[in-house]
Every structure is written in C-alpha cells, then in structure tokens.
Amino acid sequence: MPKRYVIIGGDAAGMSAASQIRRMDKEGEILVFEKEGVISYAQCGLPYWVGGVVPEKKKLIARTAEEFLNRYNIDVKLYHEVVKIDPSKKEIKVFRREEKDEIAVPYDVLLIGTGSTAIVPPWEGRNLPGVFTLKTMGDAEELLDWLSSHTPTKAVVIGGGYIGFETAEALHSRGFKVTVLDLAPQLIPTFDKEIAEIAQDALKRHGVEVHLNEEVVGLEGDEKGVKAVVTKNGKFEADLVIISIGVRPVSELAKEAGIELGPKNAILVNERLETCIPDIYAAGDCATHFNRIKNAPDYIPLGTTANKQGRIAGINMAGGDAKFA
C-alpha cells in the first residue's frame, strides 16, 4: 500500500521535502497543506520586487501548485490551514478556508514546515497606516498596494539585518529619503564588525542615514498614517515605516502536539530532522539545526538552510538515511 506523506507548509522546506520524496518514492501519496494562496516563492527576493528590480510577482515563484500536481503528482492544497496535530491518531485537522469547514487527514509520515513570522514588538502605534513588515508575499502585496495610492517621502526601516538592509536599498531606489535604525552597535550583526562597517559606508554613500544604538519605544501618528518613530534618544520623522527586526519560529502546532522545542522555541530536531515523536519531522524556519561551532542545537533561520533541511527530511521520510551537517 502506498505511503501517505503529509507536509504542513508549502515554501522552501516543505516543497524541497516533497520534491525529494517524489524522487525516491514514485508511488507514494504526497499532500501539502498551505494556508496562503502561493507556494515555493523566494521570500528573500521580496525587497527587490518592492524596489522594482524584480518586475513582477511571478518572477519570484519557482513553481505553482498546478505545476507540482501535473508534473510531479504532488497534491498542494492552498488556503488549507492545519490547526491541530494528533500524534496518537496519526492525523491532522485542517481548516479549509474557502469551504469554511474542518477535515481530518491521516498520515503515515508528517513534516512540519510552518516557517517563521515577523517579530513586531507591542509598540504603541505599530498598527498605524503606513507601518508594514516584509516577511511574506502578502506583506509585499499590501505594501505595494498602499504605495499605489499614497505618496510617502520619508521612510524609516527599523532593523539593520539582511532584510532591513535590502529594504533600505529598495526604498532608496524608489526615491524615498531612507533612515535605518538599529538597536545594535553595528548593522548585520552576523557580520564581522569590519565588514559591517563597509556595508554601512555603502548605505551612507548613497544617502541613506544610519543610526545605531537606537532603541525604539513607539510610533506616532493619527488615523491618516504614521508620522514618526520614537526612540529613547529622539524622534525620526516618517510617513512609511518597515519593521524588520527578525523572525520567530511558528511552532505552536508542534508544542500543542507535545513535540519538544529548543532554542528560541524552535522545534527541536536531530541531525535527521526527526522530532521527539516518531514519524514526525520538522524543517526550515520553524526548526532548530545543529551548530558545529557551538556543538549544540541553534536557531538561524535562512532560506538556504530551509532548502537543505527540507531535502534531507524528504530523504529520511522516504526511507533513506541523510544527516544535516
């Protein structure tokens, strides 16, 4: 009897796993449940779509649900949100958004690839018009739609990591006066200080202001929109704000199912991407990975890591033996 593989999440880790499973198991049933309406897209490319370097959304999408079904017999269910995992019954509960009902789906092997979500502190003013995150395709669409009917001139990017840096470049290319604020003493904290200084100098040469050691305490504005970002050291005028201070793993489903969590509440996995519950794997931004330098589990959410973890999880789910290293 063909094995049923169920995957929660249709982005980097989930679709990499699904593709690898199909390479190894030609007969197995592969079901992917994705709560949004798009899969297999380049989240890291979103700032370049906002900046106009990527001309249209479809350039960011590697493959559609229809392509996966027709070419690989991988059944992707869009607008299907998994709301519960029941390991004792080996089934999941799925809310079908368009049908507005809930169904139970059994599995033989399960992969959790629920990804991460943008961190937004409980600042006063965080929900003002003109305040955005840039984590998902939906975020980018919302921002571009807003820009089509508004004419901001002063943008503040809160956060100087990879996405914050790229977003600053994107907004600058659109003609905005851009200011980057970061709590840390340097941009891109994963870089060595000397390299970070080179990156900061590049921003400044292009007219982007950079203010480090700035702790944001709130945002000011009214019903028409945001007007300023307030820090402990002062106030920065803005009619557009992008919050880009990092992500947290989406691991609530796993926790409720009794799956052990690790650093930063990411799903704890071993080198085979197995969780503490048999036949349940996790990969991508929702999961830990083993850090050879620390000699311990760690949480470093990156697209490259997600793709590799998904591939390794897929091999093992299909009966192979691969390790993340």
d(CA 114, CA 180): 30
- Domain at 120-243: CATH code: 3.50.50.60
Sequence ranges of the domains in the chain: 4-117+247-317, 120-243
Mean pLDDT (whole number) for 58-84 = 98
Mean residue pLDDT across the chain: 97
- Determine whether 44 is an active site residue: yes
List for the chain the helix, strand, coil content (%; round to 5). 30, 30, 40
- Residue from 58, 281, 242, 34 nearest 155 by CA: 242
- Residue from 305, 269, 314 nearest 288 by CA: 269
Identified catalytic residue from 24, 29, 42, 44 = 44
Mean pLDDT (whole number) for 207-216 = 98
pLDDT tens digit string along 279-306? 999 999 999 999 989 999 999 999 999 9
Instruction: Supply the pLDDT for residue 195.
Output: 96
Mean pLDDT (whole number) for 10-27 = 98
Instruction: Supply the pLDDT for residue 149.
Output: 97
Instruction: Supply the pLDDT for residue 325.
Output: 81
Instruction: Supply the pLDDT for residue 122.
Output: 98
Q: Which fold has domain 4-117+247-317?
A: FAD/NAD(P)-binding domain (3.50.50)
Q: Residue 11 in contact with residue 284, Cβ under 8 Å?
A: yes
Res. 39 pLDDT band, cuts 50 70 90? very high
Res. 105 pLDDT band, cuts 50 70 90? very high
